[in-house]
């Protein structure tokens, strides 16, 4: 019987962040897919196998959980180069989109085929049987609507197959994915866990434990505002909104195309322009360095005002709040705009994470802490039951 491998996966609207095992492997893949054909042009199989598999993910996905089954996709960086690339749309539910599942299965398959896991998962001819214990999450709004139940049931109890087509190093391999267990956490609660606890769920930030705090998680398609009181998420007061940075990024991308004639491959290219350390808010137009500040400032300031309005409304309903933490990839994009608004209004006690990786990886880190703790407790329960059984038999 195969051993189940721990995995924590945050299917973010910009990218998938995944942590495996005892934090021995991590993946970060742009959340972009494109329907493809079985063949794709490459220059020589030898050159193909010298490339990084992450840069050339070309797969067929078969799963009863999918609405469109047995479809061939380009995934991640390879998909961004396609004319028909798709990213998650504003207003969509993460739990009901094929794209969420395709990204999830592709990420797991990329871990399963690694040479380092050859002793963990059984391989018969070119087929690898992989078993995972998954910790993941959904936006607070979807959990409150009960969509986590259907999402979990889609994953459990079925075999999901990923076949690598013209993918470097892995061409011709198939991975059968099964789940030993699936735990789905509300994203706001996960952020809180990550703020106050280490990998063994020991409290590391005692100053926050008994405070009334808000956590505003700004994603691509949604914003969650978790209300934390007495060490628990207040489900009644926590709110989720269909507001994220994806629509703004798409608007910036389109205006750059119309004004400067420059085609950007994906929203991730826009994020890079906005957040990079050097030449921020500049692009190259016909070989000349050109500012797009006028476009980015107008669109992002408008979005920051909407996000700030949500903060103000939730804070007013929870007047004893002491601090609000802004987390998520969207918070990095909007950080300077929200800080400026708050300072000009002599506003609230707010905090951003200066370590951008910590903010972006916060959900994946939290899911890993939670699913690891679940596995530890489960092993203890099994051991305890075995001891009881042995005593009874004696």
3-state secondary structure the chain: CCCEEEEEEEECCCEEEEEECCCCEEEEEECCEEECCCCCCCCCHHHHCCCCHHHHEEEEEECCCCCCCCEEEEECHHHHCCCCCECCCCCCCHHHCHHHHHHHHHHHHHHHCCHHHCCCCEEECCEEEEEEEEEEEECHHHHHCCHHHHHHHHHCCCCEEEEECCCCCCCCCEEEEEEEEEEEEEHHHHHHHHHHECCCCCECCHHHHCCCEEEEEECCCCEEEEEEECCEECCCCCEEECCCCHHHHHHHHHHHHHHHCCCCCCHHHHHHHHHCCCCCCEEEECCEEEECHHHHHHHHHHHHHHHHHHHHHHHHHCCCCCEEEEECHHHHHHHHHHHHHHHHCCCCCEEECCCHHHHHCHHHHHHHHHHHHHHHHHHHHHHHHHHHHHHHHC
Per-residue confidence (pLDDT) for residue 340, from 0 to 100? 95
Distance CA 200, CA 376 (A): 10
Average the pLDDT over 20-40 and give the result.
92
Answer yes or no: are the C-beta atoms of 61 and 105 closer than 8 Å. yes
Confidence of residue 187 (pLDDT cuts 50, 70, 90): confident
Per-residue confidence (pLDDT) for residue 2, from 0 to 100? 58
Does 254 or 92 have the greater pLDDT score?
Answer: 254
pLDDT above 70: residue 43: no
Distance CA 187, CA 193 (A): 10
Confidence of residue 1 (pLDDT cuts 50, 70, 90): very low
**pLDDT tens sequence across 235-248:** 778 787 888 898 99
**pLDDT tens sequence across 301-312:** 999 999 999 999
Distance CA 310, CA 224 (A): 10
Does 251 or 81 have the greater pLDDT score?
Answer: 251
Per-residue confidence (pLDDT) for residue 383, from 0 to 100? 57
- Percent of the chain scoring above 70 in pLDDT: 93
Residues whose CB falls within 8 Å of the CB of residue 372, separated by 6 or more in sequence, listed in order: 6, 135, 199
Per-residue confidence (pLDDT) for residue 12, from 0 to 100? 87
Per-residue confidence (pLDDT) for residue 392, from 0 to 100? 41
Average the pLDDT over 357-376 and give the result.
90
Per-residue confidence (pLDDT) for residue 309, from 0 to 100? 94
pTM: 0.86
Chain mean pLDDT for the chain:
88
Per-residue confidence (pLDDT) for residue 236, from 0 to 100? 79
CA dihedral angle for residue 27, residue 28, residue 31, residue 32, rounded to 10 degrees: -90
Distance CA 33, CA 36 (A): 9
The domains located in the chain, with CATH, are 4-188+362-383 (3.30.420.40), 205-244+296-360 (3.30.420.40), 246-290 (no CATH)
pLDDT above 70: residue 45: no
pLDDT above 90: residue 386: no
Confidence of residue 161 (pLDDT cuts 50, 70, 90): very high
């Amino acid at each position: 019987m195969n051993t189940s491998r721990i995995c924590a996966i945050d299917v973010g609207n910009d990218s998938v962040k995944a942590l495996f095992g005892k934090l021995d492997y991590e993946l970060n893949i742009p959340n972009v897919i494109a329907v493809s054909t079985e063949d794709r042009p490459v220059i020589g199989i030898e050159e193909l196998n010298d490339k990084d598999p992450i840069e050339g993910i070309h797969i067929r996905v078969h799963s009863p959980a999918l609405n469109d089954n047995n479809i061939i996709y380009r995934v991640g960086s390879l998909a961004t180069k396609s004319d028909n690339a798709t990213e998650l749309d504003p207003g969509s539910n993460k739990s009901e989109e094929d794209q969420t599942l395709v990204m999830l299965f592709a990420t797991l398959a990329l871990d399963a085929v690694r040479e380092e896991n050859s002793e963990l998962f059984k391989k018969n001819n070119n087929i690898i049987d992989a078993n995972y214990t998954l910790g993941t999450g959904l936006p607070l709004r979807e959990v409150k609507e009960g969509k986590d139940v259907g999402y979990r049931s889609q994953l459990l109890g079925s075999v999901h197959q990923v076949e690598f087509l013209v993918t470097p190093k892995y061409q011709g391999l198939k991975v059968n994915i099964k789940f030993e267990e699936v735990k789905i956490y509300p994203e706001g609660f996960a952020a809180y866990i990550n703020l106050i606890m280490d990998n063994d769920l020991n409290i590391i930030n005692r100053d926050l434990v008994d405070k009334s705090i808000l956590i505003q998680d700004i994603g691509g398609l949604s914003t969650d505002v978790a209300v934390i009181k007495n060490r628990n998420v207040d489900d009644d007061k926590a709110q989720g909104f269909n507001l994220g940075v994806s629509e703004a990024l798409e608007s910036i991308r389109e205006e750059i195309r119309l004004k400067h004639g420059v085609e950007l491959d994906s929203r991730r290219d826009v994020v890079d322009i906005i957040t990079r350390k050097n030449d921020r808010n500049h692009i190259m137009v016909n070989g000349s360095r050109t500012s797009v500040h006028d476009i980015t400032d107008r669109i992002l300031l408008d979005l920051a005002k909407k996000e700030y309005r949500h903060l103000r409304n939730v804070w007013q309903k929870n007047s004893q709040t002491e601090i609000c933490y802004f987390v998520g990839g969207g918070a990095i994009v909007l950080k300077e705009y929200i800080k400026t608004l708050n300072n000009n209004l002599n506003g609230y006690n707010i905090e951003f994470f200066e370590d951008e990786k910590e903010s972006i990886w916060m959900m994946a880190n939290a899911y890993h802490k939670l699913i690891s703790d679940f596995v530890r407790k489960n092993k203890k329960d099994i051991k305890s039951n075995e001891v009881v059984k042995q005593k009874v038999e004696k």
